[in-house]
Amino acid sequence: MGAQGGAPVIAEFWDYVSDADNWWGESGLLFLTWNHLRLAFFATLVATLVALPPAVSLGHRRKGGAVAVGLVNLSRAIPSFAVLVLVVPFSLRYGFGLGFWPTFVPLVLLALPPIFANTYTGLAGVDRSTVEAARAMGMRSREVLRSVEIPAGLPLMITGLRIAATQVVATTTLGALVAYPCLGTPIVRSLQATRDNGELLAGAGLVALLALLTDLGFSLLERRLSPWRRSTADPAPVASIDESGLTPVT
């Protein structure tokens, strides 16, 4: 085994995925996929619940933009791997064990900033004249928020969710290092025990697929919610905070 070309590796991959035993059962790929998704979903959900209220509130008041930018940049700098390793001893000491909970923490930390920053900018960036028109029509602050700002800011909020969810799905893989059965498990197993390239590619391929589907799913949702945007191959220019529709904040 070792430095081989592509062909035998593909053969191993085919062998692995065409064996039904590898899909079904307690440690089968289907179970691992399900386990992977449920943690990713839960982490993203919690991050949304935590990030949304402050982001909406601050965005409405257009205060704290610098915090949003700073947070996102900071979070991109934090290596999830390090956070995971640091959380484990605490998780063990306080009875949360291995697996789910130690992995949950870095995932939430990963998801918070994109959701926060994009929600903030989505709301804060609503065209001022629209807001003022609404006010002039006699709407109060909360109504403006509900009927004008949130609907207008929704596409960017979905963008934030998209980025967060995709990154969380991809990073849940690290859970395999702390005994969480997920799609990282075949990768780690093949690297450390079985040395089976088919298993490695099956795990890696499935995660990549899931991440892409997540990205695609939310993209479609974004497009549905903003039909007025011109659809080009690249709908949103990449800007200073991350791959969202945010304009450079100087």
Partner 1 sequence: MNGPDSLVWWDWVGNHLDDIAAATSEHLQLTFYAVAIGLAISLVLAVVSLRWRRAYGPLVGFTNVLYSIPSLALFGIFVPITGFGFVTAEIALVSYTLLILLRNIVSGIDGVSPAVIEAADAMGYEPWRRFLTVELRLAAPAIVTGLRIATVTVIGLVTVAALIGSGGYGTFIRDGLSRSFSTPIIVGGGLSIALALMFDLIFIGIQWLITPWARKGALR
Partner 2 sequence: MFKTRFRWLIAVLAVFSLFAAACGDDSSDTASTGGGDEPSAPVDGPTIKIGAQDFGESKILGEIYKQALEAKGFTVELVEIGGFRDILLEAFASDEVNFSAEYAASMLEFLNENAGEATGDADETVELLQAQLDDLELTALDPAPAVDTNAFVITDETAADLGYEKLSDLPADGEGLTLGAPADCETNPFCIPGLDRVYGVDLTGGFTPLDAGLVADSLAADAVNIGVLFSTSAKIADEGWVLLEDDQNMLAADNITPVVSNAVAEAYGDDMVALVNQVSAALDTDTLTALNKRFDIDKEDADAIAADFVAGLNL
Binding partner selected for residue 194 from partner 1, partner 2, none, CB under the kind-specific 5 to 8 Å limit:
partner 2
Residues 122 and 144: their CA atoms lie apart, in Å, by: 14
Binding partner selected for residue 15 from partner 1, partner 2, none, CB under the kind-specific 5 to 8 Å limit:
none
Residues 140 and 82: their CA atoms lie apart, in Å, by: 46
Residues 201 and 68: their CA atoms lie apart, in Å, by: 37
Report the nearest approach of partner 2 to the CB of residue 113 (Å).
Answer: 26
Residue 229: CB atoms within 10 A of its CB come to 13
Binding partner selected for residue 115 from partner 2, partner 1, none, CB under the kind-specific 5 to 8 Å limit:
none
Interface ranges with partner 2 (CB under 8 A) = 1-3, 88-89, 92-93, 95, 97-98, 177-179, 185, 188-189, 192-195
Give the closest residue to 203 by CA, choosing from 20, 22, 64: 22
Q: What secondary structure does DSSP assign to 160-206, as a single string?
A: HHHHHHHHHHHHGGGGGGGT--STHHHHHHIIIII--HHHHHHHHHH
Binding partner selected for residue 18 from partner 1, partner 2, none, CB under the kind-specific 5 to 8 Å limit:
none
Report the nearest approach of partner 1 to the CB of residue 233 (Å).
Answer: 4
Report the nearest approach of partner 2 to the CB of residue 93 (Å).
Answer: 7
Report the nearest approach of partner 2 to the CB of residue 89 (Å).
Answer: 7
Residues 52 and 238: their CA atoms lie apart, in Å, by: 23
Binding partner selected for residue 189 from partner 1, partner 2, none, CB under the kind-specific 5 to 8 Å limit:
partner 2
Residue nearer to partner 2 on the CB measure, 99 or 125: 99
User: Are 201 and 177 a contacting pair, CB within 8 Å?
Assistant: no
Residue 218: CB atoms within 10 A of its CB come to 19
Interface ranges with partner 1 (CB under 8 A) = 1-6, 9, 73-74, 76-83, 85-86, 89, 166, 170-171, 173-174, 176, 184, 187-188, 190-191, 197, 200-201, 203-204, 207-208, 211-212, 215, 233-234, 237-240, 242-243, 248, 250
Report the nearest approach of partner 1 to the CB of residue 85 (Å).
Answer: 5
Q: What is the 8-class DSSP label of residue 22?
A: G
